[in-house]
């Protein structure tokens, strides 16, 4: 399986580092390198990709802002010089972040992570995908039926899978949790929440009712929510 990708960075040399590293990764299919983020947006409108290498600090728009407007919802790997704190707060939304100057091994590790996620997503999206997920919690594996899940909530490095009967806490990122679930049945409605579409009983402008729980809607996810409610 090949991953299509582009890289966005305001510095040409930084892009050349990615180009050099990417040549060594055989499953990576680089479609383009952009110093202008807006040109990249235009490109993505026409030809969506799987993965984007995105610099955070750019003159016109920050990578963090850009990420929320990316069409097609690709996976993102941040590349940054020194804004670890900003990145860590956004960690849940990114596959990984690479600190410049990064080595080839480190680059490969990120790419493998992205590939793993993508494979998981494809598997869960297939028609013959199983109607359950296996969730690792501590040393145990829990089998959770998809139709039992009400919502998922993230807390630090953990995600809790909430069903009517129980909660299962697992060490996953939001990205990985999303990849586990079929995209058609679940929607991310907030930085820390994923809900099962058919379990939503009531919705207002700022929140959704799922079972007993009132789940907030994040501003960045309002569009996704309205699509789900249609």
Partner 1 sequence: MLKVFSMNKIRRTEFGIATGIFLLLLFSLLYKSVAYNVFDLQRDYGWKFSRYHQVFDYYKHYLFPLLAHIAIVYFSFVFVHGVVVPRFYEKQRYLLGGLLSFPVLLAMFIVILVSNTWLYGYLFGVYKTVRGVHTHCAKAAFLLTFFYVVVYLIYYAGRYLFLQYAYESLVKKPWYRQSLIDGAVIAGIIGFWVILTRGDNRGFAMMVFCVGIFCGFMYFVAMLRLYPRFLVHRSKKILFQEAIGFWVISFVWMLVVALQARYNGGGMYAAGMVILTLVTGVAILPVAWWIFSARNERASTLQGLRQALTHTETGLDFLRWQINPHFLFNALNTLYGTALQENAAATGQGIQQLGDMMRFMLHDNTLESIPLEKEIAYLQNYIALQRLRTQGTPDIIIDVNIDETLCEHNIAPMLLIPFVENAFKYGISQRNKSRINLSLSCTNDKIYFDVYNSIHVNRSVEIENESMGIGINNVRQRLNLLYPGRHDLNIRETGTEFFVHLTLVVDPAKNDVL
Task: Tell me how far, at minimum, the Cβ of 82 lies from partner 1, in Å.
Answer: 4
Task: Tell me how far, at minimum, the Cβ of 71 lies from partner 1, in Å.
Answer: 28
- The sign of the torsion formed by the CA atoms of 43, 48, 49, 54 equals positive
Please, which of residues 133-162 interact with partner 1 by CB under 8 A?
136-139, 158
Residue with token string 């028609």 = 127
- E strand or H helix at 168: strand 167-170
Q: Quick one: tokens of 96? A: 């990984």
Q: Quick one: tokens of 128? A: 């013959």
For Cα atoms 12, 5, 188, give the angle at the middle one, nearest 5 degrees.
Answer: 120
Peptide bond into 101 cis (omega under 30): yes
User: Of 100, 147, 164, 167, which lies in the binding site for partner 1, with binding defined by CB under 8 A?
Assistant: 100
Q: Does 102 bind partner 1 (CB under 8 A)?
A: yes
Which residue, 155 or 184, has its beta carbon nearer to partner 1?
155
C-alpha torsion 30→122→45→60, nearest 10? -70
Which residue, 13 or 184, has its beta carbon nearer to partner 1?
13
Q: Does 54 bind partner 1 (CB under 8 A)?
A: no
- Provide the β-strand partners of residue 209: 202, 214
Task: Tell me how far, at minimum, the Cβ of 160 lies from partner 1, in Å.
Answer: 11
Q: Which range touches partner 1 (CB under 8 A), out of 10-18, 121-129, 144-152, 195-203?
A: 10-18
User: Of 68, 69, 88, 103, which lies in the binding site for partner 1, with binding defined by CB under 8 A?
Assistant: 103
Binding site for partner 1 (CB under 8 A): 11, 13-14, 16-17, 20, 57, 81-84, 99-103, 136-139, 158, 169, 171
């Amino acid at each position: 399986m090949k991953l299509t990708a582009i890289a966005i960075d305001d510095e040409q040399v930084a892009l050349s580092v990615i180009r050099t590293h990417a040549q060594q990764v055989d499953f990576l299919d680089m479609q383009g390198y952009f110093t202008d983020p807006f040109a990249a947006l235009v490109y993505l409108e026409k030809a969506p990709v799987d993965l984007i290498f995105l610099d955070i600090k750019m003159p016109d728009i920050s990578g963090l802002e850009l990420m929320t407007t990316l069409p097609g919802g690709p996976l993102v790997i941040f590349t940054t010089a020194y804004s670890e704190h900003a990145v860590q707060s956004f960690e849940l939304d990114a596959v990984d972040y690479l600190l410049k100057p990064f080595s080839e091994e480190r680059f490969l590790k990120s790419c493998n992570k992205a590939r793993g996620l993508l494979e998981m997503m494809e598997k869960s999206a297939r028609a013959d995908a199983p109607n359950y997920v296996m969730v690792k919690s501590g040393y145990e594996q829990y089998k959770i039926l998809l139709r039992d899940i009400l919502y998922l909530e993230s807390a630090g490095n953990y995600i809790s899978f909430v069903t009517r009967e129980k909660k299962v806490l697992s060490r996953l990122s939001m990205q990985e949790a999303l990849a586990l679930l079929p995209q058609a049945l679940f929607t991310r409605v907030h930085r820390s929440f994923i809900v099962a579409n058919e379990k939503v009983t009531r919705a207002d402008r700022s929140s959704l009712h799922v079972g007993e729980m009132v789940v907030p809607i994040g501003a960045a996810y309002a569009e996704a929510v309205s699509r789900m409610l249609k």
